[in-house]
Structure 1
Amino acid sequence: MIRQSKKGAALIREVAQTEVPYGTLAIWFIGQESVIIKGDGITVYVDPYVSDFLEKQHGAVRTYPAPITPEDIAGADLCLITHEHADHMDEGTLPLFHAQNREALILAPACCKEPLLGMGIAENKIGEAENRRREFFGKLAVTAVPAAHEQLDTDAEGKHRYTGYLIELNGVKLYHAGDTVIFPELIDLLSEARPDVALLPINGGDYFRRESGLVGNMNYREAAELAVRIGAETVIPLHYDVFAANSEKPGYFVDYLYERYPEQKVHVMARGERFVYVSERAFLRE
């Protein structure tokens, strides 16, 4: 049985106690594509994968323990799920997330609804992430962005199975890509949105990983080029270190940007790190 950890509880206290001035966002990196985002008193979890369920059920061993456990999670206002894969929609985390954050909505693609209900999530706390629809949760605006986890898959009703999210909070626009490769529609949509911060997977994909059942994403070169093309001020790599068989070196990503686009801001987050993004809007005065 997973128990609340001292280290994890300390991180959650840090989230609760962090005050984020206008024009800034606080981001905590939890591993894989799991992040916590806070701004203007609102705390958002994206793809919280912090349990050992996947290891117990499928033998998928993490290269390092998650910085928090499911029991640690408290104070959440919203949870965004990008797709149904178990390292994103974690059956070991979400039931406890729901039990400990009863008012928090879980927003996910339509195909995730039945599995979430099967985890014991209340139906009125499951929202559908409809691509390109902008939704408001108090001062927070969330737009679901199409994602192609190698391809633009749809369910039986023609709704996208994979999504990313454009988050507008506290005067900052953040894009979390989820799992995706690059396709023309994505470039056009993000070029128009011009996010301040882009969180992009860099693990790539290849024949041998696909042969093992691992679906691919953009690689580090593509992620770097995408960040520059869409005008993201700061880019943060994700999805590169939790599973040894599906990893990449973030240093390659940094080197590529430094050699070709030395003015592009990039930040590689340490495990459990709090990174505070500061935009130029933080210094504007009325």
Structure 2
Amino acid sequence: MAKRISFLRNDALPTVRPGYPGNKLFGNEFANGEELFEPSFATVLKWQLEANPQKAEKKADTWAPAVVDCTAAFSSTDDMLVWLGHSCFLLRAAGVTLLFDPVLYSSLGLRHRHALPCPPEAIRSIDYLLLSHGHRDHLDEKSIKLLAAQNPQMQVLSSLRMGPLLRGMARSLTVQEAGWWQQYDLGPNSPLEITYLPAAHWHRRGLADLNEVLWGSFLIRVADKLIYFAGDTAYADHFEAIEVRFGPVDIALMPIGAYKPAYMMAKSHVNPHEAAKAVNVLRAGHVVPMHHGTFDLSDEPASEPLRQLTEVAAGGMLRGELHAPAVGEVLRWQDWE
């Protein structure tokens, strides 16, 4: 029996793409754009049983990102961008402090390959916590509980149906849920505009919640700058749609890792060449790579994603300027031309 098709959005928030009806649902599952994507258990099993052709190279590759202490960043009032590892960033823009996708602790099957650049207890004064989706390398219950306790003023900006999941972790959290192409309500005097946008991905945290929570990306407008956080995504036509709607972005925070084997990962994650293509489509002026170096999620050697992206940039095939910071390094993004 065919699943019933419906559309969902948050009617309390404005939709910035004219005529967009909301996110498509097949029964209770969000579509990946127009189509339903359900990762195959058979594909996962094949990956687990099949030999990795780069096994020896991966074992020998002990590279990890350099780490510098950034504890002082959380007591500063300066605008800055700080990569905290994987897909976690601190962004301060016009004095407003944003934190993206924090996973501050190692857990079963998800071990940090490098140190955190600050004690978790230092992460305070967060105005908005932006959560792109519900996968465990982006949404960690222990981290959420700590941040909620340390930041009672913090508001969460996330996706449709994320609220119940988050409040099950920390009941006190204030959560705004948005569908794709919806702008969050930050109040009439906010210097920022934040819009939730598409990504080509999926959701699962347990055995019975496949695609029941939406996934996506974020665009932050501050003064004359556009900062794009791509979340987790495969390469798809949403990059072109975002550029058509908003024009060139100034800074793209773009995932580059967890892409091998392609038969397993291609519908979930961009590889470095696809990341460069996305950056070029977005006409980004600056690129900061993420989603590499922190966790062992796939078959490619640890240093390969950044090495390949650096080669693309050196060959003149990356439109934007590449910034590959150490974990914890403070980037003065507001000074970038």
Tell me which interval the TM-score lies in, with the shorter structure as reference length: 0.7 to 0.9
Match of 1:68 in 2: 118
Q: Secondary structure of the equivalent of 1:79?
A: strand
Partner amino acid, structure 1, of 2:132: T
Contact 2:285 2:319 in 1 (8 A): no
* 1:171 pairs with one of 221, 224, 230: 224
Q: After TM superposition, which residue ranges in structure 1, 4 or more long, deviate above 4 angstroms?
A: none
Deviation of 1:210 after TM superposition, in Å, equals: 3.3
Answering whether residue 302 of structure 2 is matched by residue 253 of structure 1, we say: no
2-structure distance, mates of 1:280, 1:94: 32
More helix by share: 1
Aligned counterpart for 1:37 among listed residues 80, 91, 114: 91
User: 2:285 is matched with which residue?
Assistant: 233
TM-score, with length taken from structure 1 = 0.81
Aligned residue among 200, 218, 235 for 1:182: 235
Q: How many residues align?
A: 258
1:114 CA drift (Å)? 1.9
Specify the SS of the correspondent of 1:84: coil
Partner residue, 1:48: 102
Query: Superposed, which structure 2 residues align to 1:212-223 within 5 Å?
Result: 216-223=268-275
Asked whether the equivalents of residues 71 and 119 of structure 2 are also in contact (C-alpha less than 8 Å), the reply is: no
The equivalent position to 2:76 in structure 1, one of 3, 6, 17, is 17
Aligned partners of 1:163 and 1:177 also within 8 Å: yes
For residue 139 of structure 1, report the CA deviation from its aligned partner: 1.4
Task: State how far apart, in whole Å, the 2-side matches of 1:249 and 1:229 are.
Answer: 20
Aligned residue for 1:174, secondary structure, equals strand
Cα distance in 2 for partners of 1:187, 1:66 equals 35
- Opposite residue 61 of structure 1, the aligned amino acid is R
Kindly state the Cα deviation for residue 160 of structure 1 after the two structures are TM-superposed: 6.4
Asked if the contact 1:98–1:121 (Cα under 8 Å) also holds between the matched residues in 2, the reply is no
Unaligned runs of 5+ in 1: 1-6, 21-25, 282-286
The 5 Å alignment of 1:1-286 reads 11-20=70-79, 26-52=80-106, 55=107, 58-122=108-172, 125-137=174-186, 138-149=190-201, 161-193=214-246, 194-207=248-261, 210=264, 216-246=268-298, 247=302, 248-261=304-317, 264-278=320-334
Change (3 A) 1:119 1:101: same
Task: State the TM-score, normalizing by the size of structure 2.
Answer: 0.69
Q: CA deviation at 1:252?
A: 1.1
**Equivalents in 1 of 2:281, 2:200: separation in Å?**
18
- The question of whether the paired residues in 2 share the 8 Å contact of 1:143 and 1:166 is answered with yes
Worse-superposed segment, 73-82 or 163-172? 163-172
Contact 1:172 1:279 in 2 (8 A): no
Question: Identity of aligned pairs, percent?
Answer: 24
Unaligned runs of 5+ in 2: 1-66
Q: Please report how far the alpha carbon of residue 181 of structure 1 lies from its aligned counterpart in structure 2 after TM superposition.
A: 0.9
Shift in Å, 1:159? 7.8
